[in-house]
Amino acid sequence: MTDARAVGKAAIVMVALVFVWGYAWILSKMALAYCAPLDFATIRIALATTALFPALLCRTGDATLIAARVIRTKGVHFVIEVERVAVPQTQDRDADIIEATASIQALFEKWIREHPEQWMWSHRRWG
């Protein structure tokens, strides 16, 4: 099976999970074909190719979009934080998806600024 077919099948399964169970987990660093260049960081570092699939999935399946992070506090102690991200439900589906994805980006930026020493991006996102 080609990578594109595998990704397509995985996307179908994720959509099914949202409709059956009401949720699905997604690693937002995934490289997906359904992406858009969005501003990352208020200082306009660059446009970052950003996966729209989490917002698309939640907008289409009327599911809650939750972002999560893990913060190392001391030694081997960690805190997990989650935050709900609003997904608009207007007549303009595409604009709703872009707005929700931009909200995720803004939240990531906020989190990175709070703990920059704990941030690492493992692939080339800005180039």
Domain assignment present for 9 = yes
Q: What are phi and psi of 87, to 5 degrees?
A: -120, 110
Domain assignment present for 87 = yes
What is the pLDDT, as a whole number, of residue 1?
44
* pLDDT tens digit sequence for 67-125: 888 899 988 999 999 899 999 999 999 999 999 988 988 898 899 889 988 887 665 55
DSSP state of 99: H
**Domain membership of residue 36 as a residue range:** 3-118
Domain count, the chain: 1
Contacts of 5 by beta carbon, 8 Å cutoff, 6+ apart: none
Domain assignment present for 126 = no
- Percent of the chain clearing pLDDT 70 (strictly above): 56
What is the pLDDT, as a whole number, of residue 108?
85
Q: Which two tokens stand for residue 17?
A: 């999970």
3-state secondary structure (DSSP) of residue 4: helix
Domain assignment present for 14 = yes
Q: Do the beta carbons of residue 88 and residue 21 sit within 8 Å?
A: no
Domain assignment present for 61 = yes
Domain assignment present for 58 = yes
DSSP code string of 103-127: HHHHHHHHHHHH-GGG----S----
